[in-house]
Copies of this chain bind each other. A is one copy, B any other.
Amino acid sequence: MIIIMRKNASETEITDVVERVKAVGFGVHLSRGVERTIIGAIGGDRAALENISLESAPGVEKLTPISKPYKLASRDFHPEDTVVRIGNHTVGGNDLWIGAGPCSVEGRELLLESAQLVRDGGAHALRAGAFKPRTSPYSFQGMGEEGLKIMAEAREQFGLPVVTEVMDTRDVELLDRYTDVLQIGTRNMQNFSLLKEVGRSSRAVLLKRGMSATIEEWLMSAEYIMSEGNHNVILCERGIRTFETATRNTLDLSAVVVAKSLTHLPVVVDPSHGVGKRAFVGAMARAAVAAGADGILVEVHQRPDAAKSDAAQTIGPAAFQQMMHEISAIAEVLGRRVPVSAAAHV
């Protein structure tokens, strides 16, 4: 941490800051300019420094951190890419990973149809929501445990691992029993109780970026999960909130490359929520792969217009086929591939 003192900071103020920095285990490097003194805090534990609130100490103008606030998630700490295993496939290595399915489980028959559709289309996992975070308390809230059971049946029948969202600390144990990947939704990216709880699970966690979260905050949320022992974290960019109203969110594809430069964790992209409009999903999936994403999470439905939630952004079977075809070809350009789904042989 570099502490820049104000122009007119007194000798007492400088000494006081130096003492406080030393007291929490840091070495100090003092640099006195003509106008200002600058204090470098060297070594020591950044969190300890943050707990002493130097930013408001008398005479301090500003603090500039020089180390990252996350450790376990940091590429500095762990230079090689983390590869997360999900069933017979992996995320984060050379192979791309595709999770697809309807927004929510709407019934047994419909979900089994969906599972078959995405399996036949080449997906490596089935995504669907049993607990749905809806802006309105009057909207369809998901089928709950019954939905989980249906997903488990689909997994059994089609050999597809399942990804589903968890919204409540009290449900983690339940979902742990039925699913392969626990999804943390954008609205819960800083639900720290929930992050800690899934951090104690052994399931892989797909962590969506908060809709107004910086990349650093996103990595700090990954750190929450990892600090509880679960290192199987997959990051998912799904669009951020901006002033633009033509799309549901603004898909931030530079987040993929920036995040991958800072962390060893895999980064996938959800183009469906990213744009919110069916017609643009395929183009954004292509762009995500071209940018270097490790996978795609996409909403697919056999009759998208009839979907009970997110219908506007859900693509149908033909568009899914085209997307799979195009991203495979782009992956090849980059020396990667979309592997044949292990489920294809079930």
Query: Which A residues fall within an 8 A CB radius of B?
Result: 2, 4, 7, 29, 31, 33-34, 36, 38, 40, 42-43, 45-47, 50-51, 53, 55-58, 61, 64, 66, 69-70, 76, 133-140, 167-170, 187-188, 190-193, 196, 211-212, 214-217, 220, 223-224, 227, 240-247, 250-258, 261, 274-275, 278-280, 283-284, 286-292, 304-312, 314, 326, 329-330, 333-334
Contacts and interface: CB of A to CB of B under 8 A. Distances in A.
Given A45-B138, A69-B138, A245-B245, 16 more contacts: A50-B136, A58-B305, A136-B220, A137-B224, A137-B227, A138-B227, A167-B191, A167-B192, A212-B241, A241-B243, A242-B242, A250-B252, A254-B275, A257-B284, A258-B280, A326-B334
Chain A interface mostly: mixed
Contacts of A169: 168-170
Contact of A139 (B47, B254, B330): B47
The listed residue with most B CB atoms (<10 A of its CB), out of A36, A224, A250, is A250
A15 to B, nearest CB: 15
A242 B239 CA distance: 12
26 contacts: A2-B64, A4-B66, A7-B76, A34-B43, A45-B138, A46-B138, A47-B139, A50-B136, A51-B140, A51-B308, A53-B310, A56-B305, A56-B312, A167-B191, A168-B193, A215-B246, A240-B242, A242-B242, A251-B254, A253-B284, A257-B275, A283-B291, A287-B287, A287-B290, A289-B290, A329-B333
Nearest to A53: B311
Contact of A133 (B51, B69, B190, B242): B190
- One complex includes copies of this chain to the number of 4
Query: Which 7 pairs of residues, A with B, have the shortest CB-CB distance?
Result: A53-B311, A212-B212, A47-B138, A290-B290, A168-B193, A187-B190, A287-B291
A204 B64 CA distance: 38
B284 A254 contact: yes
Contacts of A220: 135-137
B50 A139 contact: yes
Nearest to A278: B56
Contacts of A192: 133-134, 137, 167, 187
Contacts of A76: 7
Given A31-B31, A34-B42, A289-B290, A243 B212 contact: yes
B243 A247 contact: no
A245 to B, nearest CB: 6
Contacts of A305: 53, 56-58
